[in-house]
Amino acid sequence: MNKLQKRERLNSKIKINNLFIRGKTFRYSNIKVYWNVKPIEGTSLQIMVNVPKKTIPLAAKRNKIKRLIKESYRINKNLLKLKNQEVNLSFLFLSSEIPKYNSLEKKIKVILQRLNEET
């Protein structure tokens, strides 16, 4: 079973606060990306996916969108080239419609390529 590994999930409150306070941000289509890079020994990449309850009120639909984003990220995470960096990412989905997987995967690819250029 392929899934996002536990070490790849961003769940530290301190790192999440730093990400939203000190991190950089950009928006591509209906996905807002927060990211933070810190130099360390080795490499570390952690992500978090947010779908607001205000835009998608049903939990089943929110969870489906989260699964789609995580899967498209998991498949394409090799597009990010890290060199002795700790990267924390947050994907914030802003649309009120459930996207198709193919269109979402294209957006995630563009986002990862853009992050690769900026890190």
Query: Which residue is it, tokens 């900026």?
Result: 118
Q: Which amino acid is at 62?
A: R
Query: Which residue is it, tokens 């984003």?
Result: 69
Residue 1: pLDDT band by 50, 70, 90 thresholds?
Answer: low
Q: How far apart are the first and last CA of the chain?
A: 31
Separation between Cα atoms, residue 3 and residue 94, nearest integer Å = 24
pLDDT of residue 5: 85
Encode pLDDT of 27-84 as tens digits. Answer: 998 999 999 988 888 788 899 999 999 999 999 999 999 999 999 999 998 888 888 8
Q: Which contiguous run of DSSP H or E holds residue 37? A: strand 31-39
Percent over 90 (pLDDT), the chain: 68
Looking at every residue in the chain, the average pLDDT score rounds to 90
